[in-house]
A and B are shown apart, each in its own frame.
Chain A
Amino acid sequence: MISRRRILQGLSFTAASAALGFVPVGRNAWAAAGDPALGPTRRKLVVVFLRGAVDGLSVVAPYGEKEYAAYRPTIGLAAPGQDGGLLDLDGHFGLHPALAPLLPYWQGNKLAFVHASGSPDPTRSHFDAQDYMESGTPGRKGTTDGWMNRLLGTLPGRAAPTRGLSIGAVLPRIYAGPVPVASMAAGQGATRPTALDQPQVASAFAKLYDGGDLTSRTFRESQDARRELLASLDGGPMDKEQAAANNGAPLPNGFPDDAARLARLMRNDPNVQLAFVALGGWDTHAGQGAARGQLANRLGPLGQGLDVLAQRLGPMLDDTVIVVLSEFGRTARENGNRGTDHGHGNAMWVLGGPVAGGKVHGRWPGIDESGLHEARDLAITTDFRDVIATIAERHLALPDDQLARLFPGRTPGETPRVLRA
């Protein structure tokens, strides 16, 4: 914390204060203004996007429906209690056994699902559907920005270089827009030193970019964000307790490792309010597997990573909502290749302290012939935008007049109460 204050005082505000002719009064100028850890930005949202259409009917399987086993002779999961069977959630739905690390959150009422949810647009094209889910305007291709950027621009509280964080090399569509977003490379690349991290290099380039033009200002913003990220990743009082919890064992590569880094970052840098990460590999058209196999192999690290994130957020989990979503679901029946094809409805996962957990929300349409969408897919009874809008409004305190701008063109529909009162 101390290092971050010093950095921010040294850099971000120098230009502004010089322009205004003001001088920061005393070492506590920052604290006097209001610690971001106490303001509206203390409420966090983490979005995990599963690209490729994860099979929601395997994540939260409706084993209580007689069609379930009939539709999925080889990829269906066994009922709870059997070998490799589902983990019972509520007597009707079961959780995929590979997601066992998440069961305690369900039991502790911190994990909920909104089943039969998604985007109303009928496209079954991955890239169109992802585009719609990220732009937040299903059916409209002309939207230039993404809804998480719109959130960044309209949420109450102070802007900061790291307020919006993206994990991964390429800034995703969901963050496209005018508000700058900080990004952190996935994997070991996140903290790998780059040329610009060397002070002599940074100061040499700073001389080139010291103007008031937009390019120069953008360069300086990038330096601020990078320094904040590195400072936050490099340590704080939180790290000692985490090291103890971990017993020094490294996490497997991939999502669990990134989740640990994200948690550390969020705890050390209270400016981080929105975070996004995308995981791929869910498009199981052939050989999907059941309790073991292709899908299970991917669900494992995902569940583990979410567990790591939740645990290492510590008390911050009380103010955090983690949402997992995917562009559409998959066919109710397995296909001729022991897999599933592109479908429609899916389950959204909602995890965190403020969540009304221990419940599968939404109106369940059933998977019998009459309940299916186009006689093949899980139908949608909850628009994903309604879930996000609820979280934005009631958890992130997005003002009413901004709510309409979050998802232009949306007519609010049935919204399950995924958050505790």
Chain B
Amino acid sequence: MRPAAWLAASSALVAALAMTPSRAPAVGVADDRADPLVAHVLNRLAFGPKPGDVDRVRRIGVDAYIDEQLHPERIALPADLSARLASLDVQRLPAGTLVDGYRAAQQANREAQRNQALTAEGKRIESAPLDAAVDARRDQYRRLNLQTTEARLVQAIDSPRQLQEVMTEFWFNHFNVFIGKDLDRALVSNYERDAIRPNALGHFRDLLGATAKHPAMLFYLDNWLSTGVDALVNRNAKQALGLNENYAREVMELHTLGVENEGKPGGYTQQDVTELARMLTGWTFDARATGRGGPLAGVESQDLFIFAPRRHDNGTKTWLGRTIPASGVQEGEYALDVLATHPATARHISDELAQYFVADTPPPALVARLAARFLATDGDIREVLRTLFASPEFRDPATMNAKFKTPYQYVVSAARASGIAIVNTQPLAGALAQLGMPLYGCQTPDGYKNTQDAWLNPDGMTRRINFATALANGRLGVDREPPPPMVAANAIPSANPSSALPVVTVAASAAVQPVALLDTLGPTISDRTRGVVLGSEPRLAAALVLGSPDFMHR
């Protein structure tokens, strides 16, 4: 064949190979003396094993472990973890105080800008007040970011209540809020603390209600502004406040019924979105924040929610085939009741759970059984999960180590497996940003995906391996306090804001020991990979394990 044709043919073959969907082989199961379920439950109910986990689960048995994890309230938190969380303002302070402080810093900054602008003509006063206000605000943003990511990462890595942490991440993505939207920067950690984590294994209706009423969600999806066209507040108003459909749409499309039901019989329509928005007018939060120690200081998130009758649309609504007479705040409660118990919701949630815990393409029979369980138990998440973990689909060897880890699952599992005492979580947060999954950084309400399609790409592979190598060689700097950051006052815009993360160059601390690492990970690392690892240079061994295809999957 002529060279040109050969080249064309081989390119076509390469292209065809790339386009053929391929099921990832189950590369992890190897140690046939041990029950493969041990590794499987640690990979799925937890963020992978920490040193000693495999032995412990083998000892108490898989079913006992599952039952233990389904009851986080019975698992004590280590004292040092609790202390660490208590030291973080974003975990310690009530939502109202966080909002208050955040708005105060913004206000001071605006005033300083105004003062500076006022003297722009001719003479220039000292710019110190402006610089100080800008620095203070930037400082506050940074502190909020650092603490917010630290709170999440230390719990994900160190909490013995692993399933609760896994479900916290699952539900946060499901009820996503974006840290970059103004006030949400101050609120996401509290949202997780108050609305998500306590309800992660509880009843779905409680979770739905808590997220609907938390100021973080009210702000993110704009419901706090939503006002009925004929509402009292609009009588004689020069500038009418309008209806905002954002939350009403997403609560049906993403949180409950599912977008697949839009326009379908038994589903919802655009008209239903508008009607639900009308029912939810007045669902807002107390947004007064007049400075340090202002009226919001000390107010917990649940008490920040207010129903504002003057914004409420008092007409009759027709929603999902039901006629709803004017009944104030109860209209929204009724809507959440209906949504939480709707068969479409049961199917939608079950589908997501099956995808997260079993396979990218969830087995339909399992989804149906989970949905039935959901409805039968009035949305009891714990019971649905119990059914899931007992199912033959979950325990099918073909699914073991077959799911490609998301960046979050990868970074957290690497940190756990390494056995390093994590003092500084910033390099881990930085790695997540580099891998395209910045914590709380999903801008759109649908949250991060957990499928291979979303995350397996050439760039991601390189970055993961480089991260794994740095972690394995003790060069990531996670085991010591970070140096104080430098703040550049007039940084020239760089191509990507996340590249502003300080580069921490630290002396190498103790590297991860490969033998200990292989022991920790047990049967999750195949014999084949072990062979390659142990046959290569010793200094590369730990990196090879953490960067192996086995470890990329769960």
Contact = CB atoms under 8 A, between A and B. Distances in A.
B495 A33 contact: no
B529 interface: yes
B89 to A, nearest CB: 26
B399 to A, nearest CB: 16
A208 B544 contact: yes
A5 interface: no
B499 interface: yes
B443 A131 contact: yes
Interface string A200-214: 110011011101111
Interface in B1-29: 1-4, 6-11, 13-15, 17-19, 21-22, 24-25
Contact of B11 (A22, A158, A181, A213): A158
A297 B495 contact: no
Interface stretch (B43-51, B319-327, B532-540): B532-540
Interface string A314-345: 00000000000000000000000110000000
A25 B3 CA distance: 6
A278 B495 contact: yes
A286 B446 CA distance: 32
Interface in B516-554: 529, 532, 536-537, 540, 543-544, 547-549, 552-553
A337 B15 contact: no
Contacts of B462: 194, 196, 222-223, 226
B114 interface: yes
Nearest to B14: A16
Interface in A44-102: 74
B19 to A, nearest CB: 8
Contacts of A280: 493, 496-497
A337 B130 CA distance: 14
B13 to A, nearest CB: 5
Nearest to A216: B549
B181 interface: yes
Given A170-B434, A186-B499, A208-B532, A337 B6 contact: no
Interface string A270-290: 000000011111000011000
Interface in A127-169: 127, 130-131, 141-142, 158-159, 161, 167-169
B78 interface: no
B507 interface: no
Interface in A169-188: 169-171, 178, 180-183, 185-187
Given A24-B6, A29-B7, A287-B117, A182 B458 contact: yes
Interface stretch (B275-283, B370-378, B412-420, B463-471): B463-471
B22 A214 contact: yes
B259 A142 contact: yes
Interface string A343-367: 0000000000000000000000000
A41 B132 CA distance: 51
Nearest to A179: B18
Interface stretch (A107-115, A236-244, A249-257, A398-406): A249-257
A142 B113 CA distance: 40
A208 B434 CA distance: 23
B371 to A, nearest CB: 23
B549 A209 contact: yes
Interface of A: 12-13, 15-17, 19-20, 22, 24-26, 28-30, 32-34, 74, 127, 130-131, 141-142, 158-159, 161, 167-171, 178, 180-183, 185-187, 189, 194-196, 200-201, 204-205, 207-209, 211-219, 221-223, 225-226, 252-255, 258, 277-281, 286-287, 297-298, 301-302, 337-338
Given A127-B443, A222-B462, 6 more contacts: A196-B466, A204-B544, A208-B532, A218-B458, A253-B492, A254-B495
In the complex, the 5 A-B pairs of residues with the closest C-beta atoms, listed nearest first? A222-B458, A186-B495, A168-B496, A195-B469, A16-B10
14 contacts: A12-B14, A16-B14, A22-B6, A22-B10, A142-B259, A181-B457, A200-B540, A204-B532, A208-B544, A208-B548, A209-B549, A297-B492, A298-B493, A337-B113
